[in-house]
Structure 1
């Protein structure tokens, strides 16, 4: 009996692989390795928990730290989705000091907290604590979705913070460009004053978890509808099925929005499109992203329905005070661009290059590709020595050849840093890169 064989796989092979995956799921409860990366709480406060991920036993932790900033309503699983598709695991395994700030469970008592709490208290306190814990080094701040907005506004409002760079992943600054919101805008304008939406979130103290989950699913409605067919046609693909399990767990762990914060997001962002100019007012002060001096890296996903490319790209020309701004288009939707299977070879590699480029002391944290090359280079001399040990009494001609080879090797080694520097300069503008070159932009002050 043949199920729905894929074109590139014989029917019998498909059936065998699919049966194995189904049996594994039934017997063991799933295919995904959902073990969280081990971490230690180093600081906490009101809706603030700062964690340090324990370094890998195989790699020495070194270099400037990264701080992962979660968005509201989404769990920290976005950065540690599953083994093999975890940004945290990627950084830790490469020896990068890795930290994360999350907010815990939001309850009714937190209903009066606004966005100012995260911009004034949570993110700045996390940055300072991470810098202190890492020996006073500056911090590379990476925020996803609303976490990226928080990171940018914090950097703009507090120029004294020890920030090495800021990375915003899928952070929309022009809500009019979001396809789901544009058709609803005339309806939203009718709810001026005490509309049903206002009364609802005020009564509930915010946006409850089921509503947040529904909104996230609505943004990828087509994928939700076609999901059963996708599973049926890819029952043989263990990695694909494991990713679906991990995403389902992520969706089941959504967190509620505090009431006042939800109101600000609704009125200022959705209805007022306040971020489109790069400036937002809080009480008697204004925060402008033009005041950011740190280097900024901006990512957009090519199939992102929550933060499409035009909505994200809007912030790029607004960052006029930054040392350097880079814009990258990478494969994936809102979550996939951050921690999807293709992110391992696109988003994460670009992050590695960017962080190394803007490290405080030009430290070199090798990428996985560089690690393999370095390992091969270390093994090569050992093999040559072993092969030449018996031939100590070689003629003078061989000795001359050996000297020439060493000279060539030294010249090649001298050229290597130049190639590395060139690859960094090409970040975001390399026409050979499959993703990011067409929509990338580099601005230097």
Structure 2
């Protein structure tokens, strides 16, 4: 809104204030309808019901929430909901969340999510979708859990992996880097350790405070931002939705919080791509499926270098793509510009690594087998139409979807050294989009 508001701005501002006072808000906070298809200890798997007059088609998508954050991250509000986007496009859409964490869950460690929650959710989704491979999308810690589960279980029916804002090198996080040397002075007997052990984890109020602290500047300037945007309905609606998200934070289980604190924050265990659990070591280099990695250009929790550190570790992946998109930790996933940047890239990626829609015998009534994911390129489509033509040795090699190329050729990287918006040089955004923010 201008310093001296125009008449139309005054009318819009008055309308927004009246609507908020009389009706409680401007945001459409209705959740997308869903059905529970599987549950277990801190595991709830949901299928989002198809939109009216839209037929589900293609490989399913599974959204993996991080610990402590509600599933609202994927369904923030109408118009800024990744779930709504996928469902409206006819994509079979699923989500795994964990429910309320209580004191009785204090002995659960990260292994519970890596060994039980994420793998079970992937298998249940694949089965519910007729045996199709699953495109798994994990945000923040959900992305880390997804990567570790995929690295440990090569037999999971995964079509592709997408990691959104997941830091793999904590030394590159400005919020944490300055205090890491001080944390190591206590040799594990500091006040933080004694506190979370006594409380059985990190309670919800502390988690909410920590998330707000990560965006301290926005928190301080929020009243002024609201005052100067009273005529902007979309801006005010987004703030309402984010406030609801922050108010629904969930607690961390005690042992899991201890592992995150000691091994990730203090020990920076993930920067090498390998982490030990008991008598085994999980290495992300064992991942063979294609991986898409997102970083937000203003993300303070998982800044670009911390996220990009994952890329060189994925030496066994069939393809690795790194993209920088507009927004902070939550905004890059479900901000107002995400629909034109992050979601568009996800759509392209999922289509690229989806199996053929006609896979399986539709007339038999049996679930379609789990085929190896392959690219759906124009060249492949032309090859299917010209089936009578002799198959050359080169073409046969490209069609062998079940075989993995050698790591050197398989790990295709479209990263670039310049951490600009849309680091993939082949990508083009329209005017006023994320690429313009790089300058």
Q: The TM-score by the shorter chain falls in which range? A: 0.7 to 0.9
- Please report how far the alpha carbon of residue 232 of structure 1 lies from its aligned counterpart in structure 2 after TM superposition: 0.5
Aligned match of 1:53 in 43, 48, 51?
48
Residue equivalent to 1:132: 127
| CA–CA separation in structure 1 for the residues paired with 2:286 and 2:357 | 25
- Secondary structure of the residue aligned to 1:101 is strand
Q: Which runs of 5+ in 1 are unaligned?
A: 365-413, 419-424, 440-445
- Secondary structure of the residue aligned to 2:146 is helix
How far does the alpha carbon of each residue in 1:25-71 deviate from its partner, in whole angstroms, 9 at most, with x for none?
01100000000000000000000000000001121101000000000
- Please report how far the alpha carbon of residue 191 of structure 1 lies from its aligned counterpart in structure 2 after TM superposition: 2.2
- Please report how far the alpha carbon of residue 169 of structure 1 lies from its aligned counterpart in structure 2 after TM superposition: 0.1
| CA–CA separation in structure 1 for the residues paired with 2:437 and 2:350 | 22
User: Equivalences for 1:344-355 in 2 at 5 Å?
Assistant: 344-355=339-350
Q: Aligned-residue CA RMSD in angstroms?
A: 2.1
1:429 aligns with 2:425: yes
Residue equivalent to 2:230: 235
1:6 aligns with 2:6: no
Structure 1 residues 302 and 110, CA gap change in structure 2 (3 angstroms):
same
How far does the alpha carbon of each residue in 1:5-42 deviate from its partner, in whole angstroms, 9 at most, with x for none?
427x9522211100000000011000000000000000
Aligned match of 2:28 in 13, 30, 33?
33
1:161 aligns with 2:150: no
Residue equivalent to 2:406: none
- Secondary structure of the residue aligned to 2:186 is coil
TM-score calculated relative to the size of structure 2: 0.83
- Secondary structure of the residue aligned to 1:327 is strand
How far does the alpha carbon of each residue in 1:386-428 deviate from its partner, in whole angstroms, 9 at most, with x for none?
xxxxxxxxxxxxxxxxxxxxxxxxxxxx99x89xxxxxx9993
User: Equivalences for 1:216-235 in 2 at 5 Å?
Assistant: 216-235=211-230
Q: Which runs of 5+ in 2 are unaligned?
A: 360-377, 383-413, 415-421
1:176 aligns with 2:171: yes
Aligned match of 1:203 in 188, 198, 204?
198
Aligned match of 1:72 in 67, 74, 77?
67
Structure 1 residues 123 and 430, CA gap change in structure 2 (3 angstroms):
same
1:322 aligns with 2:322: no
Question: Does the CA-based 8 Å contact 1:292-1:319 persist in structure 2?
Answer: yes
Aligned match of 1:90 in 85, 90, 105?
85
**Greater mean alpha carbon deviation, residues 211-220 or residues 39-48:** 211-220
Residue equivalent to 2:399: none
Structure 1 residues 253 and 431, CA gap change in structure 2 (3 angstroms):
closer
User: Equivalences for 1:8-23 in 2 at 5 Å?
Assistant: 10-23=5-18
- Secondary structure of the residue aligned to 1:248 is helix
| CA–CA separation in structure 2 for the residues paired with 1:72 and 1:260 | 13
| CA–CA separation in structure 2 for the residues paired with 1:435 and 1:37 | 27
| CA–CA separation in structure 2 for the residues paired with 1:107 and 1:241 | 33
**Greater gyration radius:** 1
| CA–CA separation in structure 2 for the residues paired with 1:326 and 1:221 | 31
Structure 1 residues 40 and 123, CA gap change in structure 2 (3 angstroms):
same
| CA–CA separation in structure 1 for the residues paired with 2:190 and 2:224 | 40
Question: Does the CA-based 8 Å contact 1:356-1:363 persist in structure 2?
Answer: no
- Please report how far the alpha carbon of residue 115 of structure 1 lies from its aligned counterpart in structure 2 after TM superposition: 0.2
1:260 aligns with 2:290: no
Structure 1 residues 315 and 436, CA gap change in structure 2 (3 angstroms):
farther
- Please report how far the alpha carbon of residue 432 of structure 1 lies from its aligned counterpart in structure 2 after TM superposition: 3.4
| CA–CA separation in structure 1 for the residues paired with 2:271 and 2:42 | 28
| CA–CA separation in structure 2 for the residues paired with 1:351 and 1:186 | 38
| CA–CA separation in structure 1 for the residues paired with 2:212 and 2:283 | 32
1:186 aligns with 2:181: yes
Structure 1 residues 221 and 113, CA gap change in structure 2 (3 angstroms):
same
User: Equivalences for 1:261-340 in 2 at 5 Å?
Assistant: 261-340=256-335
**Greater mean alpha carbon deviation, residues 354-363 or residues 163-172:** 354-363
How far does the alpha carbon of each residue in 1:295-333 deviate from its partner, in whole angstroms, 9 at most, with x for none?
000000000000000000000010010000000000000
- Please report how far the alpha carbon of residue 184 of structure 1 lies from its aligned counterpart in structure 2 after TM superposition: 0.8
- Greater helix proportion: 1
- Secondary structure of the residue aligned to 2:101 is coil
- Please report how far the alpha carbon of residue 190 of structure 1 lies from its aligned counterpart in structure 2 after TM superposition: 1.9
